[in-house]
Amino acid sequence: MRASRNLRLRAQGVRMVERHVLGLMVDDVLPSLVRSMSNMNATLRSIEARTSGARPHPREGSSMTEAEALARRFHEAYERLAPEFGYKTRDASAVPWEFVPDANRSLMIAVAAEILDQGPVPENSGNEDDR
């Protein structure tokens, strides 16, 4: 009887130690895990807010004109380089090309088309006299 009582106490002690160790692990890990999940949720909400209602542009996937291709390259380079120059672009336009608002996209394509129509940029294009 005494031996079985000792075994039960020992088993309870092992379970108490297991709970204690697991409790410490949970106490150490859980707050960090909760913070990480909270950060991920905030990021997802931010992306969702910027692209809510946004749909890929209908021409996406079909062949682009030269002006569209230039506008897309300009947009992608601009968004990538802006932080290096201390500039934060608007949330609405700081999205992949497929989700750029139609008005912004159309303007960029029109500007690119006009530049392409003007032909090669002359070397003295920075002079005020050229205007």
Read off the pLDDT of residues 76-114 as tens digits, 9 standing for 90 and up. Answer: 999 999 999 999 888 888 899 999 999 999 999 999 999
Calpha distance 74→80 (Å, rounded): 10
Provide the sign of the torsion angle of the four alpha carbons 27, 33, 35, 41, taken in this order: negative
Calpha distance 28→66 (Å, rounded): 56
Ranges 7-21, 40-54, 84-98: which has the least confidence: 40-54
CB 76, CB 99: distance < 8 Å: no
| pLDDT for res 56 | 54
